[in-house]
Amino acid sequence: MKDRFQELFAAYAIAQHTLPADTIHEVKRRIIDSLGVMCAAINDDSPTAARMYAEQYPLQDGATIFGSTVRANPETAGFANGVAVRYLDFNDTYLSLEPLHPSDCIMPLLALAEWKNASAAGLIQAIAISYELSMNLCDAASLRTYGWDHVNYIGLGVAAGASRILGLNAAQTAHAISIALVPHAAMRQTRAGELSMWKGAAAANSARNGLFAALVASRGFTGPFEPFVGQMGFIKHELGGHAFDDKALERITRNEPPHRICDSYIKAYPVEYHAQSAVDAACELYQEIRDWRLIEQIEIETFKAAYEIIAGDPEKWKPTTRETADHSLQYIIAAGLVDGQVVRETFSPEQLRDERIHQLLSQTKLIESARLTAIYPESIPNKLTVKTKDGAIHTREARYPLGHAGNKMTDAQVVAKFRTNSARVWNDTEAEHLLDVVWKLENVASLRELTNRLPKKA
């Protein structure tokens, strides 16, 4: 028995597409955004640990490790760099039946393309293919419903993109997809309860598995047959026996050029995406109230997915790790009402112990709203109602945070975010040179023109 999904995805990965101009432009914007959030996280604990791990496996002609003079094989360098991109929860997002950070594919694919001396245009194609496959899979079926993690879709997307970079044929690409899928099922426990450093590493690990799969397939290795439809396959175990929604895969079935990257969202704040609009609402109410001590009660209304992912666990009421706090809707809102902003320092150890924030958390009520659930994921709705001690009621409802597909960032705003995030690594001149390379990426002679500009010291 053949596996139609395996064959479909493999055929799409190797098809010859002319990328639309806006797809190419969005790939460049996502590379810029990813490099910026890497810079902002370069000295933090998880990126440092991942970099130190990667430095144990030097390879003279390998791929660049961000913040190091050492190079490593693409799987190892791609993992370390991917951890740095994901750490602050500040890279892009897509929300559908399954949420995803599709830019988790970028650094592993860049590492592979650099190591193979592939063309920049080929890298752009691979990134676009990875976005297309992984985002359409998010439309086709939910993983978290059955206890599995969204990063499984990243592994599939990276396997497809890596197969394209390596020039694999349809059969080899099909095996790469199977090898990425069957042995590497990631559990949702990564994002349940108190969250650890692995929250920011799971996608990088899944991407590493995708690279590994393509690399071994390129040497003739075969993967399990019927990885999706088999009696012990993906659909039975990770989708509870429910097949993909074929309508969600129509673009791939019709072999349309990759374009879904244009539907992903660039983040304005370093928090889980379902809380982005809540930050807008909290900061607006801060401007009205000005003093957290005047607040008597806070009521948060949110939608079902946000409640389940970033609000419902008891650990979200008193987070003790950065990873839990930036996935705690109530903590994020309380911090915004105290400080009038939500930035990377909002999740520092000092802020996690801030008694002002904990006081407001004790005065907070959380409601899962059927009305808001009905308008998700077309929008990201959150409503805050704050009662002050003088009896006044202050209300804000926000739906389309800056960077959402319905409220896109301009190029100037993407660059401004990059400059803020990269300031601890690059001066203005260095940042401008890097931006110039990325904006003209398809025309550079070698990807080393990009990677040689990455910082060699954290």
Exposed e or buried b per residue across 304-314, where buried means at least 16 C-beta atoms within 10 angstroms of its C-beta: ebbbebbbebe
List beta partners, residue 80.
Answer: none
pLDDT at site 1: 63
Helix H or strand E encompassing 152: helix 151-166
Structure tokens at 162: 């890596």
Q: Where in the chain is the domain with CATH 3.30.1330.120?
A: 273-398
For residue range 80-91, list pLDDT tens digits in order: 999 999 999 999
CATH topology of domain 4-268+425-451: 2-methylcitrate dehydratase PrpD (1.10.4100)
Which tokens go with 184? Answer: 């590497």
273-398: CATH number: 3.30.1330.120
Q: Are 160 and 133 in contact (CB under 8 A)?
A: yes
CA angle, residues 170, 176, 179, in degrees to nearest 5? 145
> How far is the C-alpha of 344 from the C-alpha of 133, rounded, in Å?
31
Q: CA 116, 121, 127, 129 torsion: positive or negative? A: negative
Mean pLDDT value across residues 67-80: 98
The number of beta carbons lying within 10 Å of the beta carbon of residue 61 is 9
Q: Which residues does 441 contact at the CB level (< 8 Å), separation at least 6?
A: 28, 31, 120, 123, 124, 450
Q: What is the pLDDT of residue 391?
A: 97
Distance CA 117, CA 120 (A): 9
What rounded mean pLDDT belongs to the chain?
A: 97
* Domain boundaries for CATH 1.10.4100.10 within the chain: 4-268+425-451
Q: What percent of the chain has pLDDT over 70?
A: 100
What are the DSSP E strand ranges found in 280-434?
Answer: 295-302, 364-368, 382-388, 393-398
302 pairs with which residues across the strands?
A: 368
Quick: pLDDT tens for 14-35.
999 999 999 999 999 999 999 9
Per the CB < 8 A criterion, the answer to whether 276 and 401 are in contact is yes
Instruction: Check whether 36 has a pLDDT greater than 80.
Output: yes
**DSSP notation for 153-198:** HHHHHHHHHHHHHHT--HHHHHHHHHHHHGGGPPBGGGGSSS--GG
Q: Give the pairing of strands 295-302 and 364-368.
A: parallel
What is the value of pTM for the model shown? Answer: 0.96
* Stretch 121-135: mean pLDDT: 98
Report d(CA 260, CA 357) in Å as an integer. 39
Question: In one letter, which amino acid is 130?
Answer: S
Q: Count Cβ atoms within 10 A of the Cβ of residue 342 and give its class: 0-12 exposed, 13-18 middle, 19 or more buried.
A: buried
Cα dihedral sign, 170-247-205-259: positive
- Decide: helix, strand or coil at residue 9: helix
282 contacts 386 by C-beta, under 8 angstroms: no
Residue 196 has what pLDDT? Answer: 96
